[in-house]
Amino acid sequence: MGKVAVGVAVVGAVAAVAVATVVVRRRMRSTGKWTRAAEIVRELEEQCATPLGRLRQVADAMAVEMHAGLASDGGSKLKMLISYVDNLPTGNETGLFYALDLGGTNFRVLRVQLGGKDKRVIKQEAEEVSIPPHLMVGTSDDLFDFIAAELAKFVALEGDSFHLPVDRQRELGFTFSFPVKQSSIASGSLIKWTKGFKIDGTVGEDVVAELTKAMERQNLDMRVTALVNDTIGTLAGGRYYDNDVVAAVILGTGTNAAYVERAQAIPKWHGLLPKSGDMVINMEWGNFRSSHLPVTEYDQALDLESLNPGEQIFEKLISGMYLGDILRRILLKLAGEAALFGDTVPPKLKEQFILRTPVMSTMHHDTTPDLRVVGNKLKEIFDINNTSLKVRKLVVKLCDIITKRGARLAAAGIVGILKKQGRDTLRYGNKQRTVIAMDGGLFEHYTIFSKTLVRTIEELLGEEVASTVFIEHANDGSGIGAALLAASHSQYLGLEEP
């Protein structure tokens, strides 16, 4: 009995030692893992830091590049394109106008009956049509015929509350969100197709002429009186409701900004001085870059592996197309170097763009005490199971670092525009209002992003100036904005309704 007891005791002692060793090893491995993880995150935080001093440098650089881009074509990474919009809507516009919005997988048609100063928008109707994928890679005629046919159908189904005076042509604002070299308010040649469109023989052609020919083939008597992009449309839509709107910013899949410039301040402008003395400039600010931008190894890799390496550097730090993929790249690094998700790297972490920004936003806004939503999303997207609360907290922290950097940089860009406009200080003690129209899914849905952006503008401007600056969400400004620009550039301007 005694022997047995001793034996058991010995076995027990050996077992106890073995258990202790395992525990110690586990703890060491886990400590090493967290040390490395903490190191990677600390480095990331340092590289993504956007203290006010740095943001001021970014804002200054933006203003400097704006000057350079206005001085000459190719003078800056900022194209500072002249939009030919010199007549923003005032609210006095009357009549029936149309808009066509092309720039994604869906296109939209819209009609609006305008009643002038007091009545404003009397009635508005819109329809969204998805473009059959084969038309996105087909011929120009097929694409534009399809669009014109849908437009003709839309016109044919017009109710009684819309009125077109007799002997007048229908007028259309065309929102075409692809790179275009504009030659007048209603003409411009396509520089290149993007966003999955690839149509032979259209590059260099006037897109308004293409659409007009297609409308003629459909026996649709309609004239394009304004060719714009979504940013210009948003500016026009904002201005219609608020006379103090002086700039527009899109934060969606991509990002861009437009603002009102004094025509005399545009040296490269060789045309006639516009009537109003003002000209809307399409900045194409997504292509901004500066040595002051906080760029990490993850951003550099993302850029190199992108469809347009070296281009759209600002956009790649800020916009909805990229934020999720920056997060994925950091998670991949943590999986590989700090075994964050176990001994092997989950294969799906290597898939580019598998983590979309809306999912990142959902994780970032998770308010459950155990971050259940984060856990579910990691499982859903990456097949990562059984994460600890500590890991899930770290994921939220990474969302925070990336998103706040993006939002704060966007804020600095906006302050750069205000600087260029002389609206970043109170001039002559004058409390003029400054309003910026914002649109895009990122700004609209990613609350932490938009709140950070607004707060950062306040930080940069200081309380007093900030109290004169307003950020307004212009919901679908671009759709109605194009119709309003069709109105403010109508061929019947100044004529009484017959």
Which residues sit at the interface with Mg ion, rule CB under 5 A?
230, 252
| Residue choice 357, 387, 434, 452 for contact with ligand ADP (CB under 6 A) | 357
| CB closer to ligand ADP, 395 vs 465 | 395
**Should residue 168 be labelled a site residue for ligand ADP when binding is judged by CB under 6 A?**
no
Place of tokens 């759709």: 479
What is the β-pairing status of strands 278-282 and 255-262? antiparallel
| CB closer to ligand ADP, 415 vs 442 | 442
| CB closer to Mg ion, 173 vs 252 | 252
213 touches, from Mg ion, ligand ADP, none (C-beta below 5 to 8 Å by class): none
Measured CA to CA, the distance from residue 403 to residue 407 in angstroms comes to: 6
| Residue choice 361, 434, 452, 490 for contact with ligand ADP (CB under 6 A) | 361
Tokens for 277, please give them: 């003395």
Smallest distance from Mg ion to CB 476, Å: 9
Tokens for 37, please give them: 């993880």
Question: Quick check: is 450 catalytic?
Answer: no
| CB closer to Mg ion, 237 vs 252 | 252
Question: Quick check: is 319 catalytic?
Answer: no
**Should residue 375 be labelled a site residue for ligand ADP when binding is judged by CB under 6 A?**
no
Say whether 149 sits in a helix, a strand or coil. helix
**Should residue 320 be labelled a site residue for ligand ADP when binding is judged by CB under 6 A?**
yes
Task: Provide the mask over 29-68, with x wherever binding to ligand ADP is found by CB under 6 A and - wherever it is not.
Answer: ----------------------------------------
- Report CA 442 to chain centroid distance, whole Å: 6
| Residue choice 188, 252, 406, 481 for contact with ligand ADP (CB under 6 A) | 252
Smallest distance from ligand ADP to CB 154, Å: 20
Nearest in space to 486 (alpha carbons), one of 171, 45, 190, 126: 171
441 touches, from ligand ADP, Mg ion, none (C-beta below 5 to 8 Å by class): ligand ADP
| Residue choice 126, 441, 455, 492 for contact with ligand ADP (CB under 6 A) | 441
Measured CA to CA, the distance from residue 472 to residue 54 in angstroms comes to: 26
Catalytic residue among 76, 83, 140, 177: 177
Tokens for 423, please give them: 């609206």
Question: Quick check: is 108 catalytic?
Answer: yes
Contact 434, 418 (CB under 8 A): yes
| Residue choice 183, 253, 376, 468 for contact with ligand ADP (CB under 6 A) | 253
Pick the piece of the chain touching ligand ADP (CB under 6 A) from 33-41, 166-174, 248-256, 331-339.
248-256
Place of tokens 């830091």: 49
| Residue choice 293, 328, 446, 452 for contact with ligand ADP (CB under 6 A) | 446
Question: What are residue 107's phi and psi, to 5 degrees?
Answer: -125, 155
- Give residue number: closest CB to ligand ADP: 320
Question: What are residue 112's phi and psi, to 5 degrees?
Answer: -145, 135
Q: Within a 10 A sphere around the Cβ of 290, how many other Cβ atoms?
A: 18
- Report CA 60 to chain centroid distance, whole Å: 22
**Secondary structure of 68-136 as H, E, C letters:** HHHHCCCCCCCCCEECCCCCCCCCCCEEEEEEEEECCCEEEEEEEEEEHHHHCEEEEEEEEEECCHHHH
Show Cβ contacts of residue 57 under 8 Å, excluding neighbours closer than 6 positions: 290, 292
**Should residue 326 be labelled a site residue for ligand ADP when binding is judged by CB under 6 A?**
no
Beta strands in 245-301 (DSSP E): 245-251, 255-262, 278-282
**Should residue 179 be labelled a site residue for ligand ADP when binding is judged by CB under 6 A?**
no
**Should residue 358 be labelled a site residue for ligand ADP when binding is judged by CB under 6 A?**
yes
* Neighbouring C-alpha atoms within 13 Å toward the C-beta of 108: 22
**Should residue 442 be labelled a site residue for ligand ADP when binding is judged by CB under 6 A?**
yes
Catalytic residue among 83, 86, 101, 108: 108
Measured CA to CA, the distance from residue 338 to residue 66 in angstroms comes to: 43
Catalytic residue among 101, 230, 424, 439: 230
Q: Which residues of this protein are in contact with ligand ADP, per CB under 6 A? A: 104, 252-254, 320-321, 357-358, 361, 440-442, 445-446
Q: Point out the residues that are catalytic.
A: 108, 177, 230
